Amino acid sequence: MPIQTRYTPLNAFLAYLQFEKRYSIHTITAYSNDLIQFFDFVETQYEGIPFTQLTGTMVRSWLASMKEVEMTGKTLNRKISSLKSFFKYQIQQGQLVKSPMETVISPKISKRLPAFVAENDMEQLLLNLSFAEGWNGLTEKMVIQLFYATGMRLSELIQCKENQLDISKRVIKVVGKGNKERILPISPELATSLKKYIAEKPSEAIGNSHLFVTEKGKALQPRAVYTFVKFHLSQVTTLQKKSPHVLRHSFATHLMNNGADLNAVKELLGHSSLAATQVYTHNTIEKLKEVFSKAHPKA
């Protein structure tokens, strides 16, 4: 079912994202929220003039109002990207000849280096830290193991179905952003553990195809996963940010630090461009500095 708003031009664009671009509902909702916010501003400040008459100055006045509420540069850039996509679509449809976004400059933001858990801390978490008894404790341990073993995103793990796991080939199929599929390898030990986990699922889970379920047989919810991942990471690290995405960063960083090819890491993470993966190379440089300082007689 297409997302409907009170702005007709926006509805056609959202339908295009949903049915032709096949974006996830999460991505479409983000676009929708950004554009509704913009159209609400236009309606209030410019008496709802047609989008075909909007100018770069009007767009910049909206962005300036966002800055007044101390919106981050990253969020502003996302909103600019949403508008650029919307106006590009209108040009493709013949509704516009020129985009008002041509004169809008995205704010520069400093790239933050990804936070990651040290290898020895991850080893302590997976080997030495005891999880709660019962189904919930087992589920939490398996979820954290799979996050770290594959680098998959929270949404990818929660939506993962049993039939996406091939125990004999020791691979798991993941459906990522833009409904793009990728195949991820898993270790023999993890494959065996997952096979045992599936075999021990509670009877309440019959008919539920999700790989991970609660003790009541329901699919895991994002907030619940975020909560227990944060709790367990707090036992082994003092990182300020403790989330499933930190485990993804740890997966990528540890691969790079141990000599993995950058292109291979890109494919494993499901990145669309190499630039997104290159952020992890900084940790490799730090690793080289550490080796140099320990091994070189003049260091």
Contact 143, 157 (CB under 8 A): yes
Name the DSSP class of 234. Answer: T
CATH architecture of 8-103: Orthogonal Bundle (1.10)
Task: Give the mean pLDDT per block of 10 residues along the chain (299 residues).
Answer: 89 94 90 96 92 95 86 89 97 96 85 85 89 94 97 96 97 90 96 97 94 96 97 94 96 92 96 89 71 77
Q: What is the 3-state secondary structure (H, E, C) of 29-44?
A: HHHHHHHHHHHHHHHH
Is residue 11 within 8 Å of residue 5, measured between CB atoms?
Answer: yes
Intervals of CATH 1.10.443.10 along the chain: 119-294
CATH architecture, domain defined by 119-294: Orthogonal Bundle (1.10)
Predicted TM-score (pTM) above 0.85 = no
pLDDT at position 110 is 64
25 vs 245: CA distance, rounded Å? 20
* Residue 284, burial from CB neighbour count under 10 angstroms (0-12, 13-18, 19+): middle
Q: How many CB atoms lie within 10 A of CB 101?
A: 19
- Given this model, what pLDDT does residue 284 score? 66
pLDDT at 67: 81
- Cβ atoms of 252 and 269 within 8 Å: the answer is yes
How many whole angstroms separate alpha carbon 39 and alpha carbon 52? 12
Q: Which residues are catalytic?
A: 153, 177, 245, 248, 271, 280
End-to-end CA distance of the chain: 63
The boundaries of every CATH 1.10.150.130 domain in the chain are 8-103
* pLDDT value, residue 282: 73
